[in-house]
Amino acid sequence: MRMAILPRLAPAAAACIALTAPGPVGGETHRVQPDRYYTTFSFAHPPVARIKPGDRVVTSTLDARGRDKSGKIVLDAGNVLSGPFYIEGAQPGDTLVVRLEKVRLNRDWGWTNGRVYLDALTPPYVRRSHDENMFAEWLQPGRKNAMKWHLDLERNVATATEKLGTRVKFEYPVRPAMGCMGVAPPGKTAITSGPTGPHGGNIDYNGINEGSILYLNVFEPGALFFLGDGHAVHGDGELLGNGTETSMDVEFSVDLIKRKSIGWPRLEQPTHLVTFGTTPSAMKEGFQAAITEMIQWLVQDYGLTHPEAHVMLGMEAELRVAAWGNTFICRLSKQRLPPKTR
């Protein structure tokens, strides 16, 4: 969910639980339930757990309004983050590798707005657009633009609970994804969980699913990895401003690529490579960053010449808006790629 909010942090009521056990591939498994949550990516937040490359973390996230799987408000804020997780050995100049082992719904409801971003519409249409205050006040006091969705955990479908008209049945297969994933940004800064940047952030790409691998630059010792803002399903652009917001059960493992930096966040899916231009309110620059990053990836890791990489993108690239005004992507099928050279 894209928001502009002031930096804040607050403790949750529950105690932090961090238990370790032997992991599946020689690492340890850490079961972590945070006792505090944040709305900034920052080096200043104390780690909720310290983990090593090869370790796995089993945790949960709150929804974008700070509600847990029971619906209880733990932190009344936007895009609430779990973490940070301190990765032993991570140093500036390294690349953090995060593998999403599981991304699962853990409650039977979520919510969205009921109107597309006004700045994604033409001005004449905006002047005659419907009032967004069209629903009952239920999510938060005074808020009348939140539409509730039923999440069927057995059938794996999301169904609107509001009657919007008579022509369309609003029922969709769920595709759980993480909206916010990132590390402490460079320069000893704190960045709210609303925008994006080279550190990651509120990426809101509906393809950050179970089975994908996210690559992030390390800017601070330990990387300080955060995640949150789980989505059950949404289309490209996250045009409603949110993506069927819900709490989530998440398992991830971490690794490091030592002494290698990348330009912008990267994602490896089972079938595609994805590069991100995480440049708020700068669409052209975002696509420039994503396209350039994809060329660098193909040349450095797959051994393509620059002419090969250019022509391959010219013939095969998919350019998409992942989140309106926030995240722009270049996507390339792995079907015709040669084996990695590094």
Task: Report which DSSP code applies to 1.
Answer: -
Show the DSSP H helices in 76-154 as ranges. 123-127
Question: What is the Rg, in whole angstroms, of the alpha carbon atoms belonging to the chain?
Answer: 20
Q: How far apart are CA 6 and CA 209, in angstroms?
A: 28
The domain defined by 9-107+174-257 folds into Jelly Rolls (2.60.120)
| Burial of residue 68 (number of CB atoms within 10 Å: 0-12, 13-18, 19+) | buried
| Distance set, CA 320 to CA 27, 256, 281, 314, 329 (Å) | 36, 28, 15, 15, 5
Q: What is the pLDDT of residue 132?
A: 86
Q: How far apart are CA 180 and CA 61, in angstroms?
A: 10
Phi, psi of 129 (to 5 degrees): -70, 160
Show the DSSP H helices in the chain as ranges. 123-127, 283-302, 306-316
Contacts of 333 (CB under 8 A, 6+ apart): 271, 272, 316
Q: Concatenated DSSP letters for 284-310? A: HHHHHHHHHHHHHHHHHHH---HHHHH
Q: What is the pLDDT of residue 342?
A: 76
Query: Which superfamily, per CATH, for 266-333?
Result: Acetamidase/Formamidase-like domains (3.10.28.20)
Series of mean pLDDT values for 10-residue runs along the chain (342 residues): 42 44 67 95 97 98 97 95 98 98 98 93 90 90 94 97 94 98 97 97 98 98 98 97 97 97 97 97 97 98 98 98 96 96 84
Provide CATH 2.60.120.580 ranges for the chain.
Answer: 9-107+174-257
31 with 17: CB under 8 angstroms? yes
Which of these, 242, 252, 243, lies nearest to 214 by C-alpha position?
252
243 with 232: CB under 8 angstroms? yes
Q: What is the pTM of this model?
A: 0.92
Q: How far apart are CA 151 and CA 158, in angstroms?
A: 5
For tokens 């789980």, the residue is 230
Provide CATH 3.10.28.20 ranges for the chain.
Answer: 266-333
| Distance set, CA 310 to CA 22, 295, 297, 298, 315 (Å) | 45, 7, 12, 10, 9
For tokens 């238990």, the residue is 19
The three-state secondary structure class of 125 is: helix
